[in-house]
Amino acid sequence: MVVEVKTTNRPDEWKIEQGLSGAVLPVLDMTGPETKALPPQVFGELIKDEEALKSVGDRDKLFYRERKGWKGFVEWENYPDKKAAAHKILTSQTWPPNPEYQMAEIPGTLPVLPGTYWKMWHHAVGGELDSVPEDSWDLVLKEKHPDMLHLLQFPYNGEPPKRLVTDKVITPNPLHFVRNHGGIPIIDKEDYSFTLDGLVKNPRTFTLDDLMDESVFPRVEKTVTIQCSGTRRIEQILKYPGQGDEVPQAPWAEGAIGTATYVGVSLKKVIKACGGMIEDGAHLELYGAETYFKDSKAMNYLVSIPYDKVKANEVLLAWDMNGEPLPRIHGYPLRVVVLGYIGARSVKWLYRIKAIPHPTRAPVQSQEYLYFPQQVGKHNFRLTDGIQIQEMPVSSAIMTPWTKQVVVHAGAIRCKGWAYSGGGRWPERVELSADGGFNWYTVPLGQLSAKRKWCWRTWEFELPCDVEGWVEVVVRCWDNALNTQPPDVRTAWNWGLHVTSSCHRISVYSVNKNKEATRKRLGEFEERGIPFAPVTVPLAFPSMGWDEYEEFWKQNDPRDAKE
């Protein structure tokens, strides 16, 4: 029954006042003698300038397939006119706002977020891009495990559920997380090649067969953990919302990390085959074939890495992932794998490498993946305030149990998880605490997976826990350089919501069957056939008999002190 209440409050007033719907809260302006309430932005109706849109011309002719056998590939970087045409399309109409997933509850749907306006941009630009959102989703269904958690439908972002994240030390391909900034180009191997140009002596094009010629390029096989710098972002979001663009700031849990054995060649050797770097060439721009949108502009996915990293043989061009050709969703036919750097630098669907003097100014490098200090946010940030993230710091996470879970145990909580450190460092010690991080137990080395440069270690541990009720289970890792993790999310919170490497903390309701009272109570639940959880449901039977109660007061009377 809906009751009518006479009030000047909005019906959701209480929710708003409690900060549960923060996006609609007015801003309080306290600069003058009296506090003023400034309403937040309201998005108006969507507008469309049909004339301007028509004047752009035939989309199929403008935004054509760049190369035969490369479905979904529109090249932007060499064509300023094409870029201008797409910009006109994107600015001659308005788009729905980002869904509010930080100041409001995250939807309980699968996919969690649809990526509506990214789909709209692809369809609006049209031409070769028109079918990209649908083609990409088809590939997700074909190549990924049915139990993947689809965080964002398009551009596709998905992670395995916790129980499967650390199930195996080498992540099976269908379960490896996927982080896309656009569609999945569908490239025929026979038509594949990439170009290496810019500040190299002899610019050249390479086919896959060129790279596979072992008389020129020694084959390299490496087992590598790729971690997205957005891993565990949800902890930052739940603490304090930050920049909220659903693609750059996808709300990842702990699964945006995966480990695979890649086969390919060292980029160093490929540059050597071009006669080496010349002049002031010091960075390599890496171009991905799909279309990315930023600030109403269309472009290709583009980042850069320093040549020093390449020189150290720490950058691979890989075609094989866990003994099979790269799945399309992971970059088929060729991707970059940058050892120990954030995933963003490991470019998929590589079509060009260009040697340049400084890090690329392209937005994924210079506007995103920035690590801001805490005083910086929407009110003041400048791009130069952020550190361009490269190596990931040491981090770890608990995959079992889950936060808010009730655990019945016999003095120890069975925990499972992962630990990782970037830059070629590796986890040396993993520690767990059942008291919020005061006392720590070390996971015995035999319960950590093998030590390997560039790789995570999975672990299992029976964490001693005597106390009952809510406990805070915490994990932290020490790497071989004795780096460890910040104690809590607040310490390392940042506006871009990157690099959540603070100690992973989960709240667990501990029920210790070694305690006599608990054993008795659980027995009673069993006899009555009542499940124990959820803990919030009030006890359905008396906690003690009245005889017992009277007996207690006989022994312990009076309730109040006399003198």
Ligand X SMILES: Nc1nc2c(c(=O)[nH]1)N[C@H]1C(S)=C(S)[C@@H](COP(=O)(O)O)O[C@H]1N2
Binding site for ligand X (CB under 6 A): 176-181, 226, 228, 258, 288, 290, 301, 330, 343-344, 346-349
Could you tell me if 473 and 463 are in contact, meaning their C-beta atoms sit under 8 angstroms apart? yes
Range 140-179, binding Mo ion (CB under 5 A): 179
| Pairwise CA distance, residues 171 & 258, whole Å | 6
Q: What is the dihedral of CA 239, 243, 244, 250, to 10 degrees?
A: -80
What does 181 interact with, of ligand X, Mo ion, none (CB < 5 to 8 A by kind)? ligand X
Residue ranges in 249-308 that form contacts with Mo ion under rule CB under 5 A: none
Closest approach of ligand X to the CB of residue 109, in Å: 22
> Closest CB to ligand X among 154 and 509?
154
Instruction: Give the Cα separation of 190 and 204 in Å (integer).
Output: 18
Cross-strand partners of 36: 29
Place of tokens 């809590």: 488
DSSP per position, 137-187:
HHHHHHHS-TT-EEEETTTTEEE--HHHHSSSSSPPGGGS-EE-SS---EE
180, interface contact from ligand X, Mo ion, none, CB < 5-8 Å by kind: ligand X
Estimate to the nearest angstrom the gap between the alpha carbon of 367 and the chain centroid: 17
Shortest Å, Cβ 347 to ligand X:
4
Cβ distance to ligand X smaller for residue 90 or 175: 175
| Residue 149, binding choice from ligand X, Mo ion, none, Cβ under 5 to 8 Å by partner class | none
The nearest distance, CB 348 to ligand X, in angstroms, is: 4
Q: Which of 257, 344, 350, 474 binds Mo ion (CB under 5 A)?
A: 344
Task: Say if strands 27-29 and 36-38 run parallel, antiparallel, or are unpaired.
Answer: antiparallel
Q: Is 343 in the site for Mo ion (CB under 5 A)?
A: yes
Minimum CB–partner distance for residue 223 and ligand X (Å): 15
Residue 283 binds which entry of ligand X, Mo ion, none, with Cβ cut-offs from 5 to 8 Å by kind? none
CA 56 to chain centroid, in Å, comes to: 37
Taking the least distance from each CB to ligand X, the nearer of 71 and 176 is: 176
| Residue closer to Mo ion (CB basis): 119 or 179 | 179
Between 352 and 498, whose beta carbon lies closer to Mo ion? 498
Show the tokens assigned to 140. Answer: 């997700």
Q: Residue 229 or residue 433: which is nearer to ligand X going by CB?
A: 229
Q: How far is the CB of 470 from ligand X (least distance, A)?
A: 34
Cβ nearer to ligand X, comparing 72 with 198 = 72
Burial class (CB in 10 A: 0-12, 13-18, 19+), 543: exposed
Identify what 177 binds: Mo ion, ligand X, none; CB under 5 to 8 Å per kind. Answer: ligand X
Exposure of 57 in the CB half-sphere (CA atoms within 13 A)? 10
Question: Residue 160 binds what, of Mo ion, ligand X, none (CB under 5 to 8 Å, by partner type)?
Answer: none
> Could you tell me the smallest distance in angstroms from the CB atom of residue 177 to ligand X?
5
Find, among 283, 280, 265, the residue nearest to 354 by Cα: 283
